[in-house]
Amino acid sequence: MRSIFYLLDCAPYGSEKAYGLLNAAAVSIKMDVTVGLFADGVYLALANQDSLALGTPNLSEIIYAYPEITVVAHEPSLVERNLMDQELIEMVMLTDEEEFLDAIRASHCILIL
């Protein structure tokens, strides 16, 4: 099966990037789809997101709605942002540097939107 790795390296709110990336991932679920959270993208891994005041969709709901999408978060990025003691979305898998790179290498296609 063809595999797609969508890399998110910017914060989930404040631009349309993460929303666009998650929607592209959602329509790709007939393939093997991974969303990789890297750098500021790891903020998307936080549990209990509330975007009501922003007037934008709650992006964590897209992750919950599509269990077919594998979501991995780059643990060193979480550490750098002091987020390791925060509650994370339970579907997000933490990966070290090597595992994160392995997931990228194993994919047919890497997309940074």
Partner 1 sequence: MKKTLTIILTDGPYISEYAEVAYKIARAALKEHEVNIFLYLDSVHIPNRGQMPHLFRNAGESFEMLANCGATVRACVRCAAARGYLPDKDLSDERSSVCQDYHKGIEITSLYDLAEMLKRSDRVIALSR
Residues that bind partner 1 in the complex, under the rule CB under 8 A: 2, 4, 16-17, 20, 23-24, 27-28, 30-31, 109, 111-113
Least distance in angstroms from the C-beta of 2 to partner 1: 6
Please, what is the Cα angle at 10 between 20 and 86, to 5 degrees? 110
CA quadruple 46, 47, 48, 53: dihedral sign: positive
Residue 98: both structure tokens together: 């090597």
State which residue, 37 or 88, has the beta carbon closest to partner 1: 37
Least distance in angstroms from the C-beta of 112 to partner 1: 6
Residue 94: both structure tokens together: 């933490």
State which residue, 3 or 51, has the beta carbon closest to partner 1: 3
Least distance in angstroms from the C-beta of 4 to partner 1: 6
Contact criterion met (CB below 8 Å) for 111 and 4: yes
Residue 49: both structure tokens together: 């997101």
State which residue, 98 or 105, has the beta carbon closest to partner 1: 105
96 secondary structure, DSSP code: -
Least distance in angstroms from the C-beta of 68 to partner 1: 12
